[in-house]
Structure 1
Amino acid sequence: MADFPTTARVVIIGGGAVGASSLYHLAKAGWTDCVLLEKNELTAGSTWHAAGNVPTFSTSWAIMNMQRYSTELYRGLGEAVDYPMNYHVTGSIRLAHSKERMQEFERAKGMGRYQGMDIEMMSPKEAQDVYPFLELHDLQGVLFDPHDGDIDPSQLTQALAKGARDLGARIERFCPATGVSRENGEWIVHTDKGDIRCEYVVNAAGYYAQRVGEWFKPYGGRTVPMMVMSHQYMLTDEIPEIAEHTKHHDKLPLLRDVDSSYYLRQEKTGLNLGPYERNCKAHWVTPDDPMPSDFSFQLYPDDLERLEWYIEDAMARVPLLGKAGINKVINGPIPYAPDGLPLVGPMPGVPNAFEACVFTFGIAQSGGAGKVLAEWITEGQTEWDMWAVDPRRYTDHTDTDYCVAKGMETYGHEYAMHFPWHSWPAGRDRKLSPVHDRVTAQGGVMGAYNGWERANWFAQPGDDTSEATTQTWNRAGPWEPRIREECEAVRDACGVLDLPGFSRFKVQGPGADDWLRGLVTGALPKVGRVGLLYFADARGRIVTEMSVTRFAEDQFILVTAATAQWHDREWLERHMSNACAFTLEDWTDRMSTLIVTGPKSREVLGAICAADLSLPWLSFQESEIAGDWVALLRVSFAGELGWEIHALNEVMPAIYDAVLAAGARPFGMFALNSLRIEKGYRAWKGDLSTDYSMLEAGLDRFVKLDKPQDFPGKTALQAEKQHGSAKRFVTLRVDAGAADAPYMSTLWQGEQVVGETTSGAWGYRINASVALGMVRADLAEPGTRIEVEIYGERHSAVVQPDQPLWDPQNERLRG
């Protein structure tokens, strides 16, 4: 075809709301040489049958940012692109049936107010004032979000498409992509109308994203972690009382009974009821139910029997619903990632390929997703830390069975509270430690970390380990005395923590030293020593943290968080040239780790190995335990005298047995979290994220601005050093109640928001609640009094000196 584009800078595959938003935001960023391909008409996938709800509510900081941005964009989009929009900002009420739900709402309210939204709590009676048809039985309270509402999904998509076209971008409808190939560093996207050469490709194919993703597997890709759910909602006939109400008032606010698991929205002069039922149904997951080649503008047959309980519950809450007949039932496909959050960001393992797909709430999130995706492509980084939706958060444990099990669990608990002590049961035992059976036999209550099973705590006979006990935000529960005992064992004697799944990379060969030195913000350790390395982006913000063991001048082992495996490997590989003489190998699956720590750890190890245990902190040596090779690193994330034992998987059982026999007591991840917070040690993607610069995070000692090598972020950090940081990292001693501060708890001074927490826990060695956080720089002085908002209640807190609360001089650590 003469007019068909043969080249572009970016090709987007998929013409739903997310694809159109991505094209629009790329064009707004000045990248107008972009093409969107849609196999049918725009909106033909999940977009056309979406309910169109636009909430801002989330307890994820990243998701709330995306959704808040969407609402701000949509309010002015029609005028900005000169396209008619049906966007109703009605507000919404979320009903709470329990104290725990009220606490969740209070947390979301605090986060929302920090982001500038006037979210507020209401009594049930106050909610009835704005929703007069509401029954108040068994309600504790209500969250009111004035920015919530609904939008016409097709109009939204067409408006974004028009805005993109007006800026010079192109949209090719009825033009299915049929595959991709790569040649001379360029992508070639194949279609029936011809090929398009481009620099970047975006998979925005909605519930077809997994099929499109398979095209990239020959170039380093993986199967997209997703499945497809059947979601039904029903529209009623006109309800006279609502018709009359609408003559004199705005539309009713959108109602969500999250404990019963449905939304109820005014639709014209009737109602729209959409449940998320526990007895849900997946589609296209078995050989006798294959995904069709084209499901454009199609629906599944009605299946209302699954919804009976939810319909009856909704009729009891809003009796008007029972007076109306059903006008229409929509039963369509919605894609689900295992955690219910979308995939937005770099496609794992594939150069210049991105994902913007698997959106469960695509209408609400499409505006923010387009912004984030455009930033990833045009700037290589995003304004907000977006790890919550980064495709690299999943690795190689997400096969079909896992995705189906987790997707159905997430759908059936769409409105569930995510309690800090609770582990979801579906999709477990994907990656097991070499000593998994030994750990569980000792009472290990397990949690999944990038698919790896680790003990969170160790139950004793008689302890209640049922899911019901974990339905609390408070620290008290059957785990609490056990965590205390585990922390005390580490404090007074010796503990051992089985820690499988550390991401582990071996870098060796000529030039490895110079390459690594030019990539990190600080210095490298000497041969035989261990150190911490920090990697920054161009803004000086924290990309990741790795420990490094230096075996030789040009031989290093880099160790990082389990969840960071694909993220950190991609960061390293991205900065390697094709001409480099050194190699990078992923050893994550070959080895495992034990943490052996506490004042008696030298005695424990001395009884089972001949290593020189007098070597100082941050030293490394090779030795043998139970006749097998081990690497002993003199470090401890618990902040006590201790070592990490690294060994091959096949020999770890004998080593673990020897450590236990020598007197070490097992401890779990919950205890480790408490121990590390007392020492002020940061955790990745909580305390350490791209929301903060190296200097803001208090990592000045790991920044060497005077070293001759340039490194990413050096210029930005030099400027920040000169002008000062807006925020500073602090440790807070908190006068907490029954709960410790969760991530992103708001910090107050008087009536002014002055910062946020990044993590918090009870410190059993100092017998106090501790929070780590970021505060306005002028308030970072020790002794400053502020308040921490924990689930709606403010608690006094004091900024601590810039040293650990436990063992401030590190005497025990170095002993």
Structure 2
Amino acid sequence: MTEFASARVAIIGGGVVGVSALYHLAKAGWKDVILLEKNELTAGSTWHAAGNVPTFSASWSLMNMQRYSAQLYRGLGEEVGYPMNYHVTGSLRIGHSQERLLEFQKVAGMGRYQGMDMEVLGPDEIRGRYPFLETHDLTGALYDPNDGDIDPAQLTQALATGARQMGARIERFCPVTAARWTGKEWILSTPKGEVRAEYVVNAAGYYAAEVGKLFNRRVPMMVMSHQYLLFDAIPELEAWSAESGHKLPLLRDVDSSYYLRQEKMGFNLGPYENPCQAHWATPDDPMPEDFSFQLYPDALERLEWHIADAMARVPLLEKAGLQKVINGPIPYTPDGNPLIGPMPGVPNAFEACVFTFGICQGGGAGKVLAEWVTEGATEWDMWSCDPRRFTGFEDHDYCIAKGKEVYGNEYAMHFPHHAWSEGRDKKLSPVHERTKALSAQFGPFNGWERPLWYARPGDDIAEASQRSWRREGPWFAAVKAECEAVRDACGILDLPGFSRYWLSGPGTADWLSRQITGKLPATGRLGLAYFADDKGRIVTEMSVARFGEEEFLLITAATAQSHDRAWLEKHLEAGITLQEVTDLWSCQILTGPKAREVLQAAGAEADLSKGWLTHQSGTIAGREVWFARVSFAGELGWELHTKTADTLAVWDAVLAAGAPLGLKPFGMFALNSLRIEKGYRAWKGDLSTDYNILQGGLERFVDWAKPEFRGKARLEALKAEGVNRRFATLVIEAGAFDPPYMATIWNGDEVVGEVTSGYFGHRVGKCIGLCMLRSDLNVPGQALEVEIFGERRRAEVQADEPLWDPKNLRIRA
């Protein structure tokens, strides 16, 4: 096949996201880029999208992305000389419950922090913005002045125009039929000839799984049927619009699960029904080779309830005749967020696909994707969209079940103690049946079922009881008792799923030293290691155990499995062997002042006098155990790492021996309470690329004397300049609610920081917030306020030491 084109980057897919990626790559200076579209631009989800552009999101990173999109679209038409219909109408998101109003307050606080003037309205204020609305049973609404709608085809063409003006190339009717990696570049086969590219991007929308197969990549996704209805013009609406000079705000009844938008002088109604319909999900319903500008047959019987509810909410809708039904495919990942970032396991390949809300996220997605390609990292921490958050266990059935669950709960609130029910029991600990028999209530972590808390007789374990923002639910008293058992006697936590990597070979120690900011542990010892990027930002945290001069075991979070493996592989040097051993081992945390007594009673054969941050091999019940003398709970304790086949025997022996000594099982909720009292950071909350190592308060893990480590030059410059924000611990008079992630911190009328994790510490009896705070206010005793669901609650900065056991006497016992 002859060569047809060559480029630094080839993007596969010409919907709004693919074209936005092309535009942003060219804008970043990479003008030698090409987009390959199998049909016409906008084919796929883009052409039939409703075109709504909300900035609302419960996710900080997605809100950043959507905010950027809205700002970009306002000036894009003028910038590239392409006229666009973009109506910034504002929106009302109405609520029927107090819980929903709390969500509105939470998101409004995030929006204000990002510079958007969101406003929570009372029931009496709503009709002033939307006179045709029935408000008798509403508790309030969230008003977003930046919301609106845009013509998806015009948006896509405007981005394409801008990309072409900067030198980018677009080839329509040019499907990619094969892909081959030469070791230096990709060769893509098309009917027009071969395309050579240094990098490729899968931006193929609901065809992303088919394109993924070209790269031996199984994309975790499914396709939903989504319908929206277009209604004829209504004279009353036309008269009101003429008199007011503008359109109605976009209305979302999130508790009834639909949006209602003024479309010219009629309405556009878009429900998210439950039960819902997946497509191309079975062998009897295969994905067609081309579904570019096609729709599914109408299925209005699925929407009857929503239509009736919308007509009751806005009676004016009853006067409109139904004009048209759009029923088209929309792709979903198992968590509903898109895939943006490196394609797992594939060199020089990226994904920007599976967008459920591609129009409102497309502008920001292009920016993020261009940063990934051109800089190797993004401005905002985008773990919420990183393809590596999925690790391969997400099979076809899982993707279907979770996609339908997300769609059917599109506007659902995501409560801090609630675990969704679909796609469960994918990975079970060897002692799962034991913990289940003890009334463990489980939650998934990278597919692993871990105990969250242990219900006691009479505790309400119904899923509905988890749906609350409040601190105190059925779990609260049980978690308190679990924490007290760890404090006073001993607790055991079954913790399957730690990600483990074995590093060995000549030069391993030197290489690893250059990857982390601090010192390597001596043989027989272990410690925390922080990995920074070239900008000095926090990439990840791993425990490093040294077994020999050139032999190390790296342990990291279950959810970090693909992320951290990819980071290690990316920087690995010749002669060093990286072996993942995650599935070979399981783990239990045994911790509390009687932990040593429990191990002795269980007949542990190991030197239990060895101190903190040591490790050794030994046995319990005749089974091999690797004893790591650490405790994320901040008490005397060990991590008991066992081979999978030996885990049950060790659990049984320890539990039986410990029962007379007060040993109790505890769960992840208790661990969260225990760790936050020690100021221990959580990955992708307190530890993320939104912060550099010095801002994160991690300077004690920096060895400035080392001649080289990644990010050193930037960190030295930051140290000389002085960082403007630093990690701090707050004690908060929080009332009935713990502060949510990214809760705003105020000093008077000035925003001075954000809470990165907050929870109630049962040992100290206080609500604790770990936060990022302006440096000049990071002074013990400084009084501040934390905005929690719309209310400012008094907070006080603590000393730079743990609230519990500040001298680490208990953990070193």
Q: Shorter chain as normaliser: what TM range?
A: over 0.9
Map 1:512-551 → 2, pairs under 5 A: 512-551=508-547
Distance 1:406 1:117 in 2: 32
Aligned residue identity for 1:604? V
Q: Say whether residues 1:471 and 2:462 are aligned partners.
A: no
Cα deviation, residue 507, structure 1:
0.5
Map 1:364-443 → 2, pairs under 5 A: 364-443=360-439
Cα deviation, residue 189, structure 1:
1.1
Q: Which residue of 1 aligns with 2:623?
A: 628
Q: Which residue of 1 aligns with 2:763?
A: 765
Q: Which residue of 2 aligns with 1:639?
A: 634
Distance 2:347 2:382 in 1: 19
Distance 1:783 1:717 in 2: 28
Q: Say whether residues 1:787 and 2:782 are aligned partners.
A: no
Map 1:177-576 → 2, pairs under 5 A: 177-217=176-216, 222-249=217-244, 250-576=246-572
Give deviations 1:525-544, integer Å, cap 9, x for gaps: 00000111100011100000
Aligned residue identity for 1:463? D
Cα deviation, residue 127, structure 1:
1.6
Q: Which residue of 2 aligns with 1:104?
A: 103
Distance 2:40 2:477 in 1: 60
DSSP 3-state at the match of 2:478? helix
Aligned residue identity for 1:594? Q
Q: Say whether residues 1:594 and 2:593 are aligned partners.
A: no
Aligned residue identity for 2:545? T
Distance 2:240 2:200 in 1: 49
Is 201-210 or 238-247 further displaced after alignment? Answer: 238-247
Give deviations 1:86-108, integer Å, cap 9, x for gaps: 00000000001111000000000
Aligned residue identity for 2:608? L
Distance 2:564 2:810 in 1: 32
DSSP 3-state at the match of 1:233? strand
Aligned residue identity for 1:461? P
DSSP 3-state at the match of 2:373? helix
Q: Which residue of 2 aligns with 1:804?
A: 802
Q: Which residue of 2 aligns with 1:11?
A: 10
Q: Which residue of 1 aligns with 2:135?
A: 136
Give deviations 1:743-775, integer Å, cap 9, x for gaps: 100000111110000001111000010000001
**What fraction of aligned residue pairs are identical, expressed as a percent?**
67
Give deviations 1:225-275, integer Å, cap 9, x for gaps: 000000000000111111111112201000000000000000000000000
Aligned residue identity for 2:710? P
Distance 1:7 1:184 in 2: 16
Distance 2:276 2:178 in 1: 33
Q: Say whether residues 1:669 and 2:668 are aligned partners.
A: yes
Aligned residue identity for 2:759? A
DSSP 3-state at the match of 1:248? helix
Give deviations 1:378-437, integer Å, cap 9, x for gaps: 000000000000000011211000000000000000000000010000000011111111
Q: Which residue of 1 aligns with 2:38?
A: 39
Q: Say whether residues 1:612 and 2:611 are aligned partners.
A: no
Aligned residue identity for 1:333? P
Give deviations 1:105-128, integer Å, cap 9, x for gaps: 000000000000011111222221
DSSP 3-state at the match of 1:813? coil
Q: Please tell me the root mean square deviation across aligned C-alpha atoms, in Å.
A: 0.9
Aligned residue identity for 2:123? P
DSSP 3-state at the match of 1:604? helix
Which of 629, 644, 648 aligns to 2:643? It is: 648
DSSP 3-state at the match of 1:688? coil
Distance 1:660 1:781 in 2: 44
Q: Which residue of 2 aligns with 1:583?
A: 577
DSSP 3-state at the match of 1:273? strand
Q: Say whether residues 1:720 and 2:718 are aligned partners.
A: yes
Cα deviation, residue 179, structure 1:
1.6
Distance 2:616 2:395 in 1: 38
Aligned residue identity for 2:251? L
DSSP 3-state at the match of 1:707? coil
Q: Which residue of 2 aligns with 1:54?
A: 53
Q: Which residue of 1 aligns with 2:597?
A: 603
Cα deviation, residue 461, structure 1:
2.3
Cα deviation, residue 209, structure 1:
0.2
Distance 1:183 1:357 in 2: 25
Distance 1:612 1:40 in 2: 68
Distance 1:491 1:179 in 2: 60
Distance 2:789 2:347 in 1: 42
DSSP 3-state at the match of 1:48? coil
Cα deviation, residue 295, structure 1:
0.2
Aligned residue identity for 1:760? G
Q: Which residue of 2 aligns with 1:684?
A: 683
DSSP 3-state at the match of 2:403? helix
Cα deviation, residue 5, structure 1:
4.3
Distance 2:394 2:461 in 1: 26
Distance 1:273 1:474 in 2: 33
Aligned residue identity for 2:452? N
Q: Which runs of 4+ in 1 moved over 6 A?
A: none
Distance 1:592 1:313 in 2: 50
Give the TM-score normalised by the residue count of structure 2.
Answer: 0.99
DSSP 3-state at the match of 1:46? coil
Q: Which residue of 1 aligns with 2:118?
A: 119
* Kept in 1: contact 2:4–2:192 (CA 8 A): no
Aligned residue identity for 1:592? S
DSSP 3-state at the match of 1:235? strand
DSSP 3-state at the match of 2:46? helix
DSSP 3-state at the match of 2:735? coil
Give deviations 1:139-193, integer Å, cap 9, x for gaps: 0011000000000000000000000000000000011111211113211111010
Aligned residue identity for 1:75? R
Which of 652, 658, 661 aligns to 1:657? It is: 652
Aligned residue identity for 1:731? T
Give the TM-score normalised by the residue count of structure 1.
Answer: 0.98
Cα deviation, residue 6, structure 1:
2.1
Cα deviation, residue 213, structure 1:
0.5
Q: Which residue of 1 aligns with 2:83?
A: 84
Give deviations 1:612-662, integer Å, cap 9, x for gaps: 111110011110011111110110000000000011001000000011011
